[in-house]
Every structure is written in structure tokens, then in C-alpha cells.
């Protein structure tokens, strides 16, 4: 039997950077997924990890994993636990024994997370795990969280900690308490990769839909609007820590002005969550709400520009989408990364194609994605 889990990426709809200073932000799932397939093996004595999109394969003998991680004892799938510094060093030993290209060494923490989640949840069972993703790495779309969520879901599906209907065909969802367990394990994986994550990315990926968060408190929001975004990856790398530090420095230099800006961003976040929860009574009402959201995006982008987190590549996307009378804003840290463009329901496919072609001339990569969809899902295959 093979179990497959898929988990969505995420975007920040409003409130990036302001959230760092205790203001509200709104995040949403997108229907671009990371998929993890897991097959337990009785014919081999190895644990294999295949990262299809980056062309890396790893293989460890079960005996070697037991030798290095013998201090872990039996699996403890029902008790999400942080990985100790001592265990990180042991995981590094296992990864260092593999042929890891120097150019991709930054991805090593993702392999650490795999080994920790695997041995903690399933122990030392031989298996093959295959990972593929529609999400670009390091673009601010929650790729690492989707990886940790889908991996945790697949592992837990074969553990004693969740009870799933394995006879059900197609994709199915976890019960609330089981999803909470997936989320907690995924957060432990995120901590290995990022150190001190907020928990927002893995929560959005686990539960889907929309999440509103402020000062560490997350509130799930039910979106009733069928929104679609064009996500443009500028492929410009950014230093998130430096961008956050620069905004904080500007806040220190101009406390009153920055307070006004951040309050305005929070007002935009609050209005976003109010609008997307409203039920469209007809197409006219839906169009009016889409127009309001477009205006909020433009205002939010202007405020983000004023605090110094835009970039020439982002401005290229804004100017290009403006030709087609479409609203755009950066999502995430800024300084490059990705840009959102709202695609109204009335827009034609021809217009979208022209926009994508023009953005492609800059070397940008575009994805069309629905927002606010389901979180992590699971399926079982008995065919092989």
C-alpha cells in the first residue's frame, strides 16, 4: 500500500511586516501543492528519500539510522516533540554521509527535518518516500511548511495515532484533532528548517482556507469568495531578516509616521477578512467586492513601498499589471520574491495570457492559483 499526502502553499494577502510589530495580517492557502508519497518496504532494509524537483536522492540502511539515533527509542507519534541539539548533530552525521552537492547544501535542513519526523513518528521501518512540489523553493509561498505538513500527514497516516478510512477512494481530509496533530508535528519540522517560525505557514497548509493572525494568536476565517490570483515569482532572492530589520530601524527613526502606516495596514487586513467572509448575493455584488479588494491591494502596496520593502522587479510587475487595469501587491518579505495580481471573475483568458507573456519577458515565472481552498489531504493506493 502507498499513502500519498498533499499540502497547499500559502500567500500573505495583507499585513506583511506589520505583523512583526503586533498588527494584524491575513494569510491564505493556494491550490499549488507539495505531494509526499510513502511506501513501506518489506523487500528492502533501507529508508529512501527522493526529492524529485531538485534531483536529489538519499538512502540510509535501517541499521545505520538505528545506530546513530539509538537514543530515540520507540516512536512517539502521538507526542510532537522538539528536536534537541544533540539529535540535530546526529542527523547531521547521517546527512554528511550522503553525496550532498555543495550548491544545494542550504537544503540540508529539510533532510534533517525528514529524518526527525520519520524516526519520531514511524521509528525504523524501511520505506521509500518521494516528494514533488508545484511550489518554488525560497519564494515566500510556504514551500517548507507544505513539505513538513505533507510529510507529517503521510507518516501519521501509517502510525497508530490517527484512524483513517483507508478504503475511501480519492482525497480525504483529517478530523480536527488529527489535523491538529499533523500541524504540531509539521511545526517541529519547520523549527528544524527555520529556527523560530511563527507557525502561520504550517497552520495555513494544514487547515487551508484563510487565517487571520495578530501577536501570535491565529483565527481561522471562512472565505466565501472564489478568488483567483496570478502569482508572479520575480526569482529575485531576498534577505528576510535584513528587510525586517530595516523596517524596524525606520520605525525607530520615525515612530509616529510608522505607527500611522502600520495602523493603516492593519485596517486593510481587517477589511480584507470582512469582505472575503461576505456572501455574494449576485455577480454584481461579487464584482463590487473584487473591486474593493483590488483597491485594498493597491493601498497596501503603496504603504509597503513607503516602509522600504519594494524592489525594482516588484515595480515591473505592478507597472505591467496596471496596463491591464489589474491590482497587484507584493506578498511576504518583499525585496523581490513574489507578487500577487487579483484576477477578477470577468477577466478573459486572452488578457491573462497576454499579461503572463509580458511578465515572462522579464524572466519572471507566473502561476495562476485559487485561494482559500482545502488544507492537507490524504489518499491510499492498493494497486501496487
Cell of 51: 526529492
Rounded to whole angstroms, what are the CA distances from 197 to 135, 202, 210, 253? 19, 9, 18, 27
Beta bridge partners of 220: 211
Given the residues 201, 239, 283, 381, select the one marked as catalytic: 201
Residue 126 phi, psi dihedral angles, 5° rounding: -70, 140
SS3 assignment, position 140: coil
HSE-up of 226 (CA within 13 Å, CB side)? 7
- Measuring CA to CA, which residue among 344, 333, 318 is closest to residue 225? 344
Active site residue 282: no
Please name the residues in contact with 7: beta carbons below 8 A apart, sequence gap of 6 or more.
Answer: 33, 34, 145, 146, 147, 149, 150, 153, 205, 206, 375, 376, 377
Residue 215: other Cβ atoms inside 10 A: 9
Q: How close are the terminal C-alpha atoms of the chain, in Å? A: 7
SS3 assignment, position 343: coil
CA atoms of 59 and 50, how far apart (whole Å) = 9
CA atoms of 301 and 135, how far apart (whole Å) = 23
Residue 140 phi, psi dihedral angles, 5° rounding: 85, 20
Cell of 306: 513607503
Cell of 315: 515595480
How open is the CA angle 333-337-339, to the nearest 5 degrees? Answer: 95
The residues carrying an active-site annotation are: 201
Amino acid at each position: 500500500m502507498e499513502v500519498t499526502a498533499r499540502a497547499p502553499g500559502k500567500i500573505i494577502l495583507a499585513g506583511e511586516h506589520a505583523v512583526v510589530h503586533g498588527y494584524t495580517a491575513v494569510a491564505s492557502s493556494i491550490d499549488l501543492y507539495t505531494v509526499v508519497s510513502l511506501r513501506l518496504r518489506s523487500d528492502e532494509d533501507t529508508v529512501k528519500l527522493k526529492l524529485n524537483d531538485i534531483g536529489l536522492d538519499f538512502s540510509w540502511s535501517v541499521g545505520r539510522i538505528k545506530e546513530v539515533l539509538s537514543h530515540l527509542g520507540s516512536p512517539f507519534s502521538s507526542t510532537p516533540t522538539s528536536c534537541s541539539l544533540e539529535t540535530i548533530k546526529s542527523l547531521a552525521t547521517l546527512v554528511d554521509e550522503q553525496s550532498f552537492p555543495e550548491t544545494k547544501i542550504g537544503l540540508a535542513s529539510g533532510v534533517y527535518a525528514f529524518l526527525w519526523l520519520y524516526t519520531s513518528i514511524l521509528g525504523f521501518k524501511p520505506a521509500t518516500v518521494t516528494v514533488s512540489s508545484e511550489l518554488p523553493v525560497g519564494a515566500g509561498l510556504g514551500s517548507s511548511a507544505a513539505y513538513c505538513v505533507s510529510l507529517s500527514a503521510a507518516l501519521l497516516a501509517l502510525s497508530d495515532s490517527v484512524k483513517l478510512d483507508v478504503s475511501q477512494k480519492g482525497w480525504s481530509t483529517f478530523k480536527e484533532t488529527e489535523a491538529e496533530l499533523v500541524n504540531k508535528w509539521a511545526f517541529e519540522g519547520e523549527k528544524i528548517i527555520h529556527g523560530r517560525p511563527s507557525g502561520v505557514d504550517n497552520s495555513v497548509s494544514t487547515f487551508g482556507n484563510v487565517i487571520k493572525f495578530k501577536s501570535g494568536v491565529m483565527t481561522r476565517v471562512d472565505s466565501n469568495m472564489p478568488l483567483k490570483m496570478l502569482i508572479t515569482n520575480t526569482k529575485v532572492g531576498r534577505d528576510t531578516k535584513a528587510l525586517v530589520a530595516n523596517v524596524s530601524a525606520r520605525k525607530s527613526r520615525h515612530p509616529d509616521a510608522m505607527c500611522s502606516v502600520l495602523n493603516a495596514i492593519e485596517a486593510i487586513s481587517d477589511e480584507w477578512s470582512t469582505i472575503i467572509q461576505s456572501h455574494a448575493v449576485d455577480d454584481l455584488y461579487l464584482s463590487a467586492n473584487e473591486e474593493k479588494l483590488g483597491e485594498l491591494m493597491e493601498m497596501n502596496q503603496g504603504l509597503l513601498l513607503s516602509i522600504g520593502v519594494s524592489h525594482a522587479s516588484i515595480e515591473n510587475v505592478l507597472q505591467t499589471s496596471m496596463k491591464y487595469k489589474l491590482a497587484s501587491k507584493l506578498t511576504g518579505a518583499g525585496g523581490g520574491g513574489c507578487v500577487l495580481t487579483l484576477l477578477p471573475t470577468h477577466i478573459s483568458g486572452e488578457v491573462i495570457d497576454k499579461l503572463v507573456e509580458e511578465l515572462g519577458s522579464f524572466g519572471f515565472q507566473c502561476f495562476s492559483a485559487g485561494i482559500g481552498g482545502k488544507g492537507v489531504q490524504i489518499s491510499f493506493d492498493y494497486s501496487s
